[in-house]
Amino acid sequence: MTSVPEETDPLSRIIKEINDRYGTNFSDTDRVILNDLSTRLFRSTTLHGSIKNNSKDAAKLKFDELFQNELVDMLDNHFNLYQKLDQSPELKNFVQEKVFEYVVKKMEVEKV
């Protein structure tokens, strides 16, 4: 059993965990798309305010809304990834949770 070294970028670890857990074939291209999605969410002043001023559960509700909006926006450009996530609510929720944790951790590290 191969483990991903801790030095590996967090999104690569998330992709590996998704593939291992769900038997999916998320690729490096999907990782790049998720990185772009995470960056857009990270830069959201609305999300920053929600995370800073609310409990994690309340911030997660706002994140879920913004995540869904971003998925709809990426439909035209990244249909393949959208389709993978849209076909499995459990997979989508898992990816959504992992991206939320990634964004929150990145905000904490960068003290934004």
pLDDT per position as a tens digit, 30-79: 888 888 999 999 999 999 999 999 999 999 999 999 999 988 888 777 88
**Which has the closest alpha carbon to 25: 15, 33, 35?**
15
Domain boundaries, the chain: 27-110
Categorize the per-residue pLDDT at 111 as very low, low, confident or very high, splitting at 50, 70 and 90.
confident
Average pLDDT over every residue of 75-98: 88
Q: What is the pTM of this model?
A: 0.72
Task: Using alpha carbons, select from 35, 45, 100, 43 the residue that is nearest to residue 68.
Answer: 100
Q: What is the pLDDT, as a whole number, of residue 112? A: 60
List the structure tokens of 36: 């772009």
Q: How far apart are the first and last CA of the chain?
A: 37
**Quick one: pLDDT at residue 98?**
94
The yes-or-no verdict on residue 4 having pLDDT over 60 is: no
Both structure tokens of 80: 């393949």
